[in-house]
Structure 1
């Protein structure tokens, strides 16, 4: 592990007695990101969900964070392509990339199950023959990449430009593709992402249940991704992230997390989208114990970026304490140093 950040699910409540409301969630996210930047944490990443009391429309939040921090990378895990206009998304992310001095790490994918039945159709995106919408997500992603790469996709008005001219979406941010990630829950999808020349954001679960740990399943996924990326000859070094829930117990103030150990102390098997899947455990314990456990997690050690899933609904103070404890007592033993130079740019393969 060479970089770490936090991954927020952005939950909020209709009743402020049960947690932050929508505005509170957004302002808490901004405060947590500012505090994380001061700690030298590498990244602030946010889940994106629709028709739910969770974070959505990430660009305004990421822009606010980028505008009020100095070094921290801002990103998503992940934007659901089923709900997006590919060209509009390419415009928005190019603008965000330019304003943030290339401090973005934007994860996109087909997305996870949402509360709405075929909710993307309510957004105006119809025509999917797949009940999960994977077909339109991948078709949109292909068009999105072409726009990001600056391909001239629209015929120009000949009255203004003369005949035969074509236009690209603006603004254009050179190198933006190298700051895009695909969220993959299978080995096959990871290889697909490698062939498309984007970074890998290994999902919070794997849609397999073989008896192997999540870490071992993801490590195999990462190996296949890197082999496929190298074989494709893209000419640059990709990044790989995994996410984990980690709660260091440093003193009595942290003892509240021990109640999670019994419920979430081992990998879980469940069904998502009709597939038996492996979900990750929570790591809870004293720093030396966590260091040993994370070193034994093959995916954590294979990845260059670790995203800590945080209980954002509890507010800035406990979440910044989690990040501070991890940064001070755990992360240095795993190869991390405080972020003093800006966003991570990539690491050698292998």
Structure 2
């Protein structure tokens, strides 16, 4: 594990005891937390994207703000639901954020996770899917998006235009060289991981896999990662792709930590989501020494180069920065991590 960062679900709304977190609170606190993690030398800050929910739905303005206020930390998504996206508009925004950040964007995209509404992407104007979950729309949008960020000409120039005109095909602007290498696909099973390897994009794998092979979650995920890397090699792509996994990990170092997370240690789970039998990863909570021992035996964490910690963002900047600091100081170095701070 060479890198680690945080994965925030960005929830806002009522948070108990008569308190309420607004959408503005959620985003402004995310910026402050990212600054603290950048100072700490943490590698990345990533955000889940959900539409029709009290969570982050339009992450690019937030990522641009974080990029402008930080120096080293990677800014990204985990993941953007391509069913909802205009691929050319997303290409423009992604290139802009990548340029603002100096090439620090890690853009995770996929078909997306289960929704709180029925086929919400159709309300955004994307209809005609032949798949009950819209996977065909997501793949079509993603293919068009890759064409755009690769600099392919997508619109014929107007020879009569007073604004440059010319002949041939025009690419999307702005264009950010190298952005293609910083795109990730969020794969929920082995088939989608192998597809990502063939396409030649990085892999994001979360604490949910839409398959059940009767083996522990970490081993199932490690098999998915190996299948992805094998597909990458067989396709002849150069270099080594990046792979991230996400985990719920809570170092318990104070009485407050014990209050929130004591007793939260659990095992893998198996259930049905979107009509598919799925495997859910467990929560890790305990003293730093115990966590080191457990995480060193997690096959997928050992196989991946990047670990994303899901954080309770509703608990505020100070609390989450303390959690991240505890992980950075007492757990991550034993897993192979080194701070980016000079």
User: TM-score when scaled to structure 1?
Assistant: 0.94
Q: CA shift at 1:307, angstroms?
A: 0.1
Pairing partner for 2:247 from 244, 253, 258? 244
3-state secondary structure, aligned to 1:158: coil
Matched with 2:223 is: 220
Matched with 2:260 is: 257
3-state secondary structure, aligned to 1:64: helix
3-state secondary structure, aligned to 2:193: helix
Matched with 1:9 is: 9
Contact 1:158/1:165, CA 8 A, preserved across alignment: no
Q: CA shift at 1:203, angstroms?
A: 2.5
Matched with 2:292 is: 291
Partner Cα distance (2:338, 2:241) in 1: 20
Partner Cα distance (2:325, 2:203) in 1: 26
- 2:171 is equivalent to residue 168 of structure 1: yes
- 2:178 is equivalent to residue 178 of structure 1: no
Contact 1:15/1:21, CA 8 A, preserved across alignment: no
Q: Structure 2 matches for 1:120-199, cutoff 5 A? A: 120-160=121-161, 165-199=168-202
Q: Runs of 5+ in structure 1 lacking a partner?
A: 342-350
Matched with 2:107 is: 106
Q: Structure 2 matches for 1:279-318, cutoff 5 A? A: 279-318=280-319
User: TM-score when scaled to structure 2?
Assistant: 0.96
Q: Runs of 5+ in structure 2 lacking a partner?
A: none
Cα deviations by residue, 1:54-84 (Å, 9 ceiling, x for unpaired): 1110000000101001110000000000000
Partner Cα distance (2:19, 2:189) in 1: 35
Cα deviations by residue, 1:318-349 (Å, 9 ceiling, x for unpaired): 111110000000000000010137xxxxxxxx
The alignment's C-alpha RMSD in Å is 1.5
Q: CA shift at 1:39, angstroms?
A: 1.0
- 2:262 is equivalent to residue 273 of structure 1: no
Q: CA shift at 1:212, angstroms?
A: 1.3
Moved more, 103-112 or 332-341: 332-341
Pairing partner for 2:238 from 225, 235, 239? 235
Cα deviations by residue, 1:75-110 (Å, 9 ceiling, x for unpaired): 000000000000010010001101100011010000
Partner Cα distance (1:305, 1:225) in 2: 15
3-state secondary structure, aligned to 2:174: coil
Contact 2:262/2:285, CA 8 A, preserved across alignment: no
Alpha-carbon distance change, 179 to 260 in structure 1, aligned in 2, over 3 angstroms? farther
3-state secondary structure, aligned to 2:232: helix
Contact 1:257/1:284, CA 8 A, preserved across alignment: no
Moved more, 38-47 or 252-261: 252-261
Q: CA shift at 1:165, angstroms?
A: 1.1
Size of the aligned set, in residue pairs, is 339
Contact 1:86/1:140, CA 8 A, preserved across alignment: yes
Cα deviations by residue, 1:191-241 (Å, 9 ceiling, x for unpaired): 100111110001221111233111101100000111111121222321000
Q: CA shift at 1:15, angstroms?
A: 7.5
Contact 2:76/2:105, CA 8 A, preserved across alignment: yes
Matched with 1:63 is: 64
Matched with 1:346 is: none
